């Protein structure tokens, strides 16, 4: 038990260090034209890519893009889930919201993302592509958290303290009783959703439908692996190790069976 | 049963409608890559645009599609220059084979690894930390067969679900009583634990089919397997609306049937 707690603390510390490092000012787009495809050196710790851009700078900036936007998308999903899951309690609203959630869950998430992302304009700027990618993640991923919130709200509505609050004519049912009790569930959903969105962006990026170049993200950084030559350039694995360590840390803190991407 | 069938029908129709809406009203729908071809003159480009515009009526398209569906005609894929029904019939066996082998391997390995009390948890955690596309790429690098990717993707998921179920089942009073009486671990597993968790395992079986369907697109796209996943990816890249809507509905049918089976197996 003490060991598990210690591992969790280490994972939290690691995530904080990664998040703070990702905020360092980096020039990800600067080209060192004299040294394309350079190996690791004192100047370039992870070498440079074929356009002469420092890989470490791109990895740090890509971490910022992936983590910041996955968190934003997760917040968007959880807010939508809280609103819709909270509304779905009884009557027609419940049936409609549950039906919509079933509809979203009936299509594999990646399939839906792939479809919508592919039909966006061909000439979008990197900034728009990053916004669209994560906006889609946020808007399409509300169904599962909404079902969880709905179940919690229904359970709370049927609880004794809510009955008592209603009987005493309490006017602050929502703010005093419902929201404080649903918040831990929403936090847990947020914590589960962030790594799922990071992995979704990575898969989309590897398929060429994620964040557009020159803006780096874990998805398009991993796409570099497809160029081959990993046996001779093992430092290309740095984004893989960082991704595995970050998602692994999320899992250590809050274990989940399926991220489904 | 009838209620479930009606639900599946409604969900599949809604999935088709939603996908048709999404692709019809996406900002880039009216753009055709062929317009960039400098060899085309004004008239040809105008023809391309009017062709695209004729496909923008969502309800009309869906009605035509439904009428065609009753006759076994799923439409025509512009990007593949082939009837969609023939494309699906041609690609489906490969995908079904991949999914069947992936599910069988994932289940055998996942269950086998979940039964012992220790081990595999760390590796399962590591595998769950990697996106499917990356696992597919790493397998491709290692020269592994494509069906192995799905096995590697599904095993840790099935392992974690199964391990949690088994952990719960092993703490049941009847299991403790059997242990106290000196019943062997194998007999406890076969006579007490597995029967107790069989409804949940059946539900997990259906859920894992849904997971496999979701994972097949990046696997086939990266490993270059000529299946439905790759067809969907190509259709998305080529903005082939009719093919994409058909594949969406097919995927929706498969997923909703799997979900319905899971719900029937384990209503909780």
DSSP A94-161: HHHHHHHHHHHHHS-HHHHHHHHHHTS-TT--HHHHHHHHHHHHHHHS-HHHHHHHHHHHHHHHTSHH
Report the C-alpha gap between A63 and A222 in whole angstroms: 12
Report the C-alpha gap between B207 and A108 in whole angstroms: 11
Burial label for A95, CB within 10 Å (0-12, 13-18, 19+), is exposed
Report pLDDT digits (tens) over A203-234.
Answer: 888 888 778 888 899 988 888 887 767 777 88
- Name the phi and psi angles at A88, rounded to 5: -75, 95
Which residue, among B128, B258, B259, would best test binding to A if mutated, counting the most A CBs under 10 Å from its CB? Answer: B128
Which among B159, B264, B113, B114 has a CA at the least distance from the CA of B203? Answer: B264
Enter the tokens of residue B70.
């009753």
Query: How close B181 gets to chain A, by Cα (Å)?
Result: 30
Query: CB distance from B23 to chain A under 8 Å?
Result: yes
Report pLDDT digits (tens) over B108-146.
Answer: 999 888 887 666 788 888 888 899 999 998 898 888 888
Q: What is the ipTM of this complex?
A: 0.83
Report the C-alpha gap between B236 and B245 in whole angstroms: 10
pLDDT over 80 (residue B4) = no
**What percent of chain A clears pLDDT 90, i.e. is strictly above it?**
25
Identify whether the C-beta of residue A70 lies closer than 8 Å to the C-beta of residue A197.
yes
Report pLDDT digits (tens) over B11-52.
Answer: 777 777 776 676 666 655 556 666 677 777 888 877 777 776
Report the C-alpha gap between A175 and A166 in whole angstroms: 13
Give the mean pLDDT of B167-178. Answer: 88
- For residue B132, which residues of chain A lie inside 8 Å, CB to CB? 203, 261
- For residue A241, which residues of chain B lie inside 8 Å, CB to CB? none
Residue contact A117–B33, C-beta within 8 A: no
**Which residue in this structure is represented by tokens 């079986």?**
B205
Residue contact A106–B213, C-beta within 8 A: no
Enter the tokens of residue A169.
């004519």
Enter the tokens of residue A191.
């914590």
Residue contact B11–A115, C-beta within 8 A: no
Q: Indicate the pLDDT class of residue A261, thresholds 50, 70 and 90.
A: very low
The four Cα atoms A246, A238, A74, A96 give a dihedral, to 10 degrees, of -110
- For residue B18, which residues of chain A lie inside 8 Å, CB to CB? 103
Burial label for A238, CB within 10 Å (0-12, 13-18, 19+), is middle
**pLDDT the model gives residue B30:** 59
Report the C-alpha gap between A164 and B3 in whole angstroms: 37
**Which residue in this structure is represented by tokens 């984004």?**
A239
Query: CB distance from A15 to chain B under 8 Å?
Result: no
- For residue A261, which residues of chain B lie inside 8 Å, CB to CB? 131-132, 214
Identify whether the C-beta of residue A78 lies closer than 8 Å to the C-beta of residue A146.
no
Enter the tokens of residue B122.
């760390």
Identify whether the C-beta of residue B45 lies closer than 8 Å to the C-beta of residue B52.
no
The four Cα atoms B57, B60, B63, B65 give a dihedral, to 10 degrees, of -60
A:B CB pairs within 8 Å: 146
Which among B218, B245, B212 has a CA at the least distance from the CA of B233? Answer: B218
| Choice among A159-163, B69-73, B158-162, B246-250 with the minimum mean pLDDT | B69-73
> Of chain A residues 190-219, which have a CB less than 8 A from chain B?
195, 199-200, 202-203, 206-209
* CA-angle at B130, arms to A191 and A238, nearest 5°: 105
Spatial CB neighbours of A234, under 8 Å, sequence gap ≥ 6: none
Report the C-alpha gap between B260 and B1 in whole angstroms: 10
Q: Is the pTM of this model over 0.90?
A: no
Report the C-alpha gap between A237 and B222 in whole angstroms: 18
**Which residue in this structure is represented by tokens 């753009």?**
B31
Give the mean pLDDT of A179-186. Answer: 88
């Amino acid at each position: 038990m003490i060991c598990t707690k210690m591992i969790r603390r280490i994972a939290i510390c690691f995530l904080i260090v990664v998040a703070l490092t990702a905020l360092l000012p980096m020039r990800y787009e600067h080209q060192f034209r004299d040294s394309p495809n350079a190996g690791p050196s004192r100047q370039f710790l992870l070498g440079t890519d074929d356009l002469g851009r420092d890989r470490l700078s791109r990895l740090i900036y890509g971490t910022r893009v992936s983590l910041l936007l996955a968190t934003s998308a997760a917040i968007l999903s959880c807010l939508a889930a809280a609103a819709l899951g909270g509304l779905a309690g009884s009557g027609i609203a419940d049936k409609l919201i549950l039906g919509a959630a079933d509809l979203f869950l009936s299509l594999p998430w990646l399939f839906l993302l792939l479809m919508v992302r592919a039909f966006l304009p061909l000439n979008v700027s990197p900034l728009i592509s990053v916004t669209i990618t994560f906006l889609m993640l946020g808007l399409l991923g509300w169904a599962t958290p909404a079902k969880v919130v709905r179940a919690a709200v229904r359970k709370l509505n049927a609880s004794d303290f809510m009955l008592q609050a209603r009987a005493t004519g309490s006017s602050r049912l929502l703010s005093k009783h419902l929201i404080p009790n649903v918040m831990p569930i929403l936090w847990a959903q947020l914590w589960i959703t962030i790594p799922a969105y990071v992995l979704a962006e990575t898969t989309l990026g590897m398929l060429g439908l994620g964040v557009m170049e020159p803006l780096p993200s874990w998805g398009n950084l991993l796409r570099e692996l497809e160029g081959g030559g990993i046996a001779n350039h093992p430092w290309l694995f740095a984004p893989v190790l960082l991704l595995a360590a970050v998602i692994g840390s999320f899992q250590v803190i809050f274990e989940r069976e399926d991220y489904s991407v | 049963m009838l209620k479930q069938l009606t639900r599946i029908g409604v969900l599949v129709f809604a999935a088709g409608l939603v996908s048709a809406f999404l692709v019809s009203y996406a900002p880039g729908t009216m753009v055709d890559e062929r317009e960039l071809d400098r060899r085309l003159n004004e008239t040809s480009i105008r023809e391309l645009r009017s062709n695209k515009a004729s496909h923008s009526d969502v309800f009309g398209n869906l009605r035509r599609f439904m009428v065609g569906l009753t006759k076994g005609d799923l439409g025509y894929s512009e990007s593949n220059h082939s009837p969609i029904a023939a494309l699906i019939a041609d690609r489906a066996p490969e995908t079904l084979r991949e999914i069947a082998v992936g599910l069988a391997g994932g289940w055998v390995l996942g269950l086998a690894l979940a039964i012992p009390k220790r081990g595999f948890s760390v590796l399962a955690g590591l595998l769950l930390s990697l996106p499917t596309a990356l696992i597919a790429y790493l397998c491709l690098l290692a020269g592994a067969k494509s069906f192995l990717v799905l096995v590697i993707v599904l095993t840790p998921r099935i392992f974690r679900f199964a391990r949690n179920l088994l952990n719960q089942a092993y703490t049941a009073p009847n299991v403790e009583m059997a242990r106290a009486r000196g019943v062997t671990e194998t007999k406890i597993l076969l006579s007490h634990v597995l029967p107790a968790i069989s409804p949940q395992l059946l539900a997990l079986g259906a859920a894992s089919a849904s997971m496999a369907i979701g994972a097949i697109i990046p696997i086939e796209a990266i490993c270059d397997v000529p299946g439905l996943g790759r067809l969907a990816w190509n259709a998305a890249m080529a903005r082939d609306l009719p093919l994409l809507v058909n594949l969406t509905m097919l995927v929706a049918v498969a997923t909703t049937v799997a979900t319905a089976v899971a719900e029937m197996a384990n209503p909780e």
